[in-house]
Structure 1
Amino acid sequence: MPDLALPVAEGGAAAAAGPLRLLIVTDAWTPQVNGVVRTLGIMASMLRAAGDTVEVIGPDRFFNLPMPGYREIRLAVVPPRKLARLVDAAMPCAVHIATEGPLGWAMRALCRRRGWPFTTAFHTKFAEYLQTRIGVPAAWSWRVLRHFHQPAEATMAATPSLRAELAARGFTKVRAWTRGVDLERFRPAPRDPFEGLARPIFLHAGRIAVEKNIAAFLALDLPGSKVVVGDGPQRAALMQRFPAAHFLGWRDNGVLARAYAGADVFVFPSRTDTFGLVLLEAMASGTPVAAFPVTGPLDVVTDPRAGVLHADLRTACLAALDCDRAAARTHAERFSWAASVAQFRGALAPFKP
């Protein structure tokens, strides 16, 4: 089955003669649990296995504080001299700045002072998140984001629709960097983890936060049961507001995989995600997807047999019950982490320290 990933672009690290010493600087890192952390962890692990040296500098290296309203996310207080010492110890010949937080800005400034090229990635629509959370006009945030990414040699983005949106907003040097799925971990399995719950089972998994729009799913008039796997700052409020829903908290990958496989439909109500790894994980487990036709689902759920995208989420949920579970698995098999790593490495900008 062919990958959906684009071919690796010419030049960059893919053309390097030998192993790289790559430095990844990210404000999103363990113990956070989200798609950015999972993606970066997989990139680092696979690049190391292929012979590269990969050092990750995250908030855990610094004194850090909880993000207001979102205690699970830690924001680093970044002394420039300490950052410089950590960077020098890593001796990188390529730098990737993954996020637009305090660490990302500090590393951007250091690279510019030293004349080092660097790459960035666009993982999160912070403009929409900030508008949803605290009412900051999206246009203001987009200007800041564009300024952050402008000096990068490449700004990596996961999907064609996101890359088109960034280009339309004035971002330059946008490069493709797709995502993959672990087809051994997430696969069709005996569908028994929800014994005692009325079917059909409509499942959502992920971070429980206002920007994920989970209330739009829980408010739907649907048959059977609604199940939410995950945790986050909105969990308590949603549990109180929707007492009939079943909140299971975090699940490790084995239990999560069985939850995906045991559901009848995976519901993805977010309107602001740039990809949605959970979409692939659900389909790899044989469970069709119901989602809005927005960035992320539009590029990931492209086979109508594997899921339904509709402006009315209830319509999508009910129609997805008739999707082909085997087709959902087959569709997920088209997404490869190997292709993702190749694209990522090929977009890097090596230099001589």
Structure 2
Amino acid sequence: MGDQAGRALHIVIVTDAAPPQVNGVVRTLRQTSEELGKLGHRVDTITPEDFRTVPLPSYKEIRIALRPYPRIARLLDREKPDAIHIATEGPLGHAARRYCLSRGVPFTTSFHTRFPEYLHARTRFPQSWSYAYVRRFHAPSSSVMVATPTLRQELAERGFTNLKLWSRGVDTELFRPRPELREGQDEQRRPLWLYVGRVAVEKNIDAFLETDLPGTKMVVGDGPRLEHLKKKFRDVEFTGALFGDKLAEAFARADCFVFPSRTDTFGLVLVEALASGTPVAAYPVQGPIDIITDPATGCLDEDLRTACLTALEKGSREACRAHALSYSWEACTRQFLSNLVLIDREREAGSGMLESAAAQAKAPVPA
């Protein structure tokens, strides 16, 4: 039995972002599914792994499903879940949306990725056109979940409706200070400046690597620009993608985590860095401004060099860790659960009345 008024729910999450992709969306959905299971709910995830796929042009690491609607319709007809959440605006998301609209079934969505900005960075396609398309995708959703108050305000100004907060968490057992890794390190390499994330044009990594900083720069991650950046910045340490303890150790070794992106909706790596005791340097943009709220946890500045040097000087590893402890995956999962809208199967063929899951959540929902 679940903790939702004694009822265990069957939830289907539809996502075009899934392993082997490595990004914040994949980690968020995986962790949320695990937490929902701990709360007694059943979660089925529909991903590209269940379909014939092709690589996304210019981004071969991402595979997209071909003609997914017939199979998605059969799956959802058979499973008859209590709630459907559509996590992405890709082919699977569109197929699930079509299914729900054709049957009068309520559903929720989430806005994880700034595709209009990413598309503009790669092709110069007008952002206003892309946002109109994305806004239309989310318009029928009963709840459009967003990670931060700043993003909610921005999307509301762009005409999005039904916006609800769904924050993020961090594994504070995996991502933790590891002082033993910092003892006896080669002082000539320090300070150690770290970037973790996709190595792609929209992440603005060049801004970090071009910044004049003492010490050593390290980039952890994989992506379409990795080989280009390796050739361009030969004095930078590129490790490729790291996972588990190896990734956590990289965070804990660093003196400062540098986040040059201007387009992320949250930046899960920011909280992972803080949990590891590492202060953050970033631009004062959506994502960082919602997380780095204490000077002891980092610095935000339009001059990235100033942000880096200030974070290094004033950052407190103890304050970073303390701030990260306020991010709980359980609290975030309860927030997600409260935003769901349940399918009333008894009335589905008639009035299609909706039942909000918010009234069922026992624990307080984070603001």
| Separation (CA, whole Å) in 2 of partners of 1:226 and 1:36 | 26
| Separation (CA, whole Å) in 2 of partners of 1:124 and 1:159 | 13
CA contact (8 A) 2:69 2:92 kept: no
| Separation (CA, whole Å) in 2 of partners of 1:295 and 1:193 | 35
1:124 aligns with 2:113: yes
| Larger RCO (CA under 8 A, 6+ residues apart) | 1
| Separation (CA, whole Å) in 2 of partners of 1:306 and 1:316 | 12
Distance 1:194 1:338, change over 3 A: farther
SS at match of 2:327: coil
Of the three residues 336, 340, 362, the one matched with 1:344 is 336
2:143 is matched by which residue type in structure 1?
A: A
Shift of 1:16: 5.4
Structure 1 outlier segments of 4+, above 6 Å:
none
**Residues 315-334 of structure 1: pairs in structure 2 closer than 5 A:** 315-322=306-313, 323-334=315-326
Of the three residues 173, 188, 192, the one matched with 1:184 is 173
2:207 is matched by which residue type in structure 1?
A: A
SS at match of 1:321: helix
2:50 is matched by which residue type in structure 1?
A: R
1:277 aligns with 2:258: no
CA contact (8 A) 2:68 2:92 kept: no
Match of 2:152 in 1: 163
Distance 1:195 1:232, change over 3 A: farther
**Residues 211-250 of structure 1: pairs in structure 2 closer than 5 A:** 211-250=202-241
Shift of 1:274: 0.3
Match of 1:146 in 2: 135
**Residues 91-106 of structure 1: pairs in structure 2 closer than 5 A:** 91-106=80-95
Of the three residues 245, 269, 293, the one matched with 1:254 is 245
Shift of 1:17: 4.8
Distance 1:47 1:70, change over 3 A: same
Deviation per residue, 1:291-343 (Å, 9 max, x gap): 00000000011111101000100100011111111111111111111110011
1:286 aligns with 2:309: no
1:162 is matched by which residue type in structure 2?
A: L
Match of 1:202 in 2: 193
TM-score by length of 2: 0.90
CA contact (8 A) 2:3 2:39 kept: no
CA RMSD after TM alignment: 1.5
Shift of 1:234: 0.6
CA contact (8 A) 1:194 1:262 kept: no
Deviation per residue, 1:214-262 (Å, 9 max, x gap): 0100000000000001111110001111111000111111011111110
1:215 is matched by which residue type in structure 2?
A: D
**Residues 33-182 of structure 1: pairs in structure 2 closer than 5 A:** 33-182=22-171
Match of 1:4 in 2: none
CA contact (8 A) 2:281 2:307 kept: yes
| Separation (CA, whole Å) in 2 of partners of 1:287 and 1:193 | 15
SS at match of 1:75: strand
CA contact (8 A) 1:14 1:345 kept: no
| Separation (CA, whole Å) in 1 of partners of 2:170 and 2:107 | 27
Shift of 1:352: 2.6
CA contact (8 A) 1:55 1:90 kept: no
| Separation (CA, whole Å) in 2 of partners of 1:273 and 1:191 | 30
| Separation (CA, whole Å) in 1 of partners of 2:264 and 2:288 | 9
Distance 1:194 1:158, change over 3 A: farther
Distance 1:29 1:327, change over 3 A: same
Structure 2 stretches lacking a partner, 5+ long: 346-367
